[in-house]
Chain A
């Protein structure tokens, strides 16, 4: 459970860490856009993109293979595309349970998996090198609706509180989970499920009421629906160039991909 909520940010003093968060966010978004637009048959482009992300990770003080492993987290979600090989027309490659997998479908599925994995790396590179508060600030200065940014901020802030609350509940439950010698203990599966359900419901009510208290406490301090932050100077030309460099490399890869490998 602890792992799921672990802070992604890894403190450091690399070139990437020091880069203006606004630039980093835009760069990451452009990289993801570029990855998504890669022609799907341009197989040689994928290792090149991976090399680009990997070298950026190394500059940011993260091992490239580690970033790749972290990004594997998104692979289960690509299962949503698992029907592709069986629904797209094309030459049959193999058959399972009477369903024929086509070559074009398999290629598209492979491209979806690779693109998801690479995009996740670009996003993770951003979150591991940027403190969450900086990221929120970058989003709001990039004109993301303030309500959305505020919701993100609160989710992040109270996720830990919620986790601790859940852990205390579980601890108190375990502490009363006694057994007697020679007596079957633990209750039925149905009963345990009911207890777990009650705990989840309880946690929901508490969070809901906490949100009301937090809101009142904010109102009491003059909150009107807008989060005020400190303003910062516009990004320097130097920072813009640093952010543009990986995007240009990706554009180069994409141009080559379109010319040479997209047939």
Chain B
């Protein structure tokens, strides 16, 4: 049925205010691959991620997920496959209790109660937050919120995880836990947008560099991350 793939071809996107955020972006992510998306602020990373499950839609170029083209008919299916973890976990956690946030996706899919319960506890266990189901998400620490946000998409059993700056603002221990968590998720294809080059070096086999809405480099992490000239030219640093 699905191949856990992301294929983006010639994707261009212009915001209503006339700002062109993406300019003929072409990239692909292989099944179970963990790829990094790096680039300076305003390079179009977040805009690109929002296209991967159709939160933003463009008429120029195409997005294919798991072999399905993104269109009105496949939108629901693609949203079930692609778990998008937003940069600010507060955007994702809007329910009074952690449990309700993690159950939102499965409930929307119309699964039965038993399955939902099993999925919620499995997702919370996976992120190491087993005892937090009845807590109020609003007053958790940032690291805890991030993990709950990841659990709230894991409960949908996505084939692809798309993360927007997952390590931003975390203290060293929370960051370390996050890297371990992402390493432990072996069955998901991942695309991680980040400024954390050490995280990229540890986690991602491939790195894609985006600058001014275009892909300027795409290759094995080892080749790209340590190319000081390339990194500096695009406002980045080697780890």
Contact = CB atoms under 8 A, between A and B. Distances in A.
Given A172-B86, A198-B95, A199-B94, A177 B107 contact: no
A172 B80 CA distance: 13
Contact of B91 (A172, A184, A198): A172
A180 B109 contact: yes
B90 A186 contact: no
B110 A205 contact: no
Given A169-B94, A198-B96, A198-B100, A177 B110 contact: no
Nearest to A209: B138
A172 B92 contact: yes
A177 B91 contact: no
A177 B76 contact: yes
Interface in A165-211: 168-169, 171-181, 183-187, 191, 195, 198-199, 201-202, 205-206
Main secondary structure of the interface of B (DSSP, over half): helix
Given A168-B91, A171-B91, A198-B100, A180 B55 contact: no
B90 A206 contact: yes
B108 interface: yes
Interface residues of A, number: 26
Interface in B146-170: 152-153, 156
A202 B145 CA distance: 15
Interface of A: 168-169, 171-181, 183-187, 191, 195, 198-199, 201-202, 205-206
27 contacts: A169-B94, A171-B50, A171-B91, A172-B91, A172-B92, A172-B94, A173-B94, A174-B55, A175-B55, A176-B92, A176-B105, A176-B152, A177-B76, A177-B79, A178-B81, A178-B105, A178-B109, A179-B80, A179-B109, A181-B77, A183-B109, A183-B110, A183-B111, A185-B109, A186-B108, A187-B108, A195-B95
